[in-house]
Amino acid sequence: MRTLDAKLQAIHADPAGAPDFILADARDADMAFGLASPGVDPATGRMRSLAEYRDQIREIVRQGLVDVMLMSASTNDVLAREGLFAGSAVTPAVRANDATDIHVLAGAPYPKQPSRPFRTPRIDELMLGGADLALYSITPAGDAERDATALEAYREFRAEAEAAGLRHFLELFAPNVPVPMPDIGRFLNDFVARTLAGIPARGRPIFLKMPYSGPQAMEELVAYDPHLVPGVLGGSAGTTHDAFRLLEEARRHGARVALFGRKIKNAEHQLSFVRWLRAIADGEIGAAEACRAYHGDLERLGIRPHRSLEADLQLTEAVLGVGSN
């Protein structure tokens, strides 16, 4: 049994007491960012190639500290044919849809326009190499017509996935267009709770991926139903302490899953960064101490950090307490 399935089993058996925490590396950026998706090599300053991006995925999977590796259908096809996941404790997952708000192309205004449902890969293409887990994403707009259209597309996906034996987890983004809502966190909680009320057990997502909206929003969702297995997305920018504190705080308030993509991709040393994410997720170390330990790793490896330790210990995300350490 892979670690994802063992942890989900433990969480459902004892939602309040099980210590298990699911960690995922989100490497599906090529479904969004085009040529920029592999990121910049911090050592050379040049843009990485797709081949280098996939080499990094291989290294993280072989390290074996994440529970899920999320990829595009094309990357999963390449790596599954190599046998990367054969005998691995890491579960391969594939992005099932690419709604227009994640079409981040040079000069294009798509991310600022209301999201439209869209799926590039077919269900059978998601399952190449034996993959049986997919991510489906919805970006609510706070508009009845647009949100109903998005939910109809989700219903169609669920019907196809269920017929094929494909499991999924559900990602919710905050609205990408201005909406007159005083509490986006509560809106997203209500959106997912209302949506899942109409889905029987066999078609429900196995966990959730949502923006972290603070302690109250997370605790309210967990109190409503811990079997939803709420998870947080890692965000795109900020300090190392931002990433580590997000994981620490979300875990403290009931999250059971965290998915980090750009924070891992942009790290000075990805394997070390993941090592300390895993230690925080398992309750072995605090966020600030892990940040110091990560900088210690960089010093031993002779890698120049993006920021000084003092600067990297700052918190810059409002939801975490800006300007504190």
Question: If pLDDT is split at 50, 70 and 90, which confidence band does 321 have?
Answer: low
pLDDT digit string, tens, across residues 28-65: 999 999 999 999 988 788 999 999 999 999 999 999 99
3-320 placed in CATH 3.20.20.70: yes
pLDDT digit string, tens, across residues 150-204: 999 999 999 999 999 999 999 999 999 988 888 999 999 999 999 999 999 999 9
Question: If pLDDT is split at 50, 70 and 90, which confidence band does 95 have?
Answer: very high
Write down the mean pLDDT value for the chain: 95
Residue percentage of the chain with pLDDT more than 90: 93
66: pLDDT strictly greater than 90: yes
Q: Are 315 and 324 in contact (CB under 8 A)?
A: yes
Global pTM reads: 0.96
pLDDT of residue 259: 98
Q: What is the DSSP track for 112-155?
A: GSPP-----S-HHHHTGGG--EEEEEE---S-HHHHHHHHHHHH
324: pLDDT strictly greater than 60: no
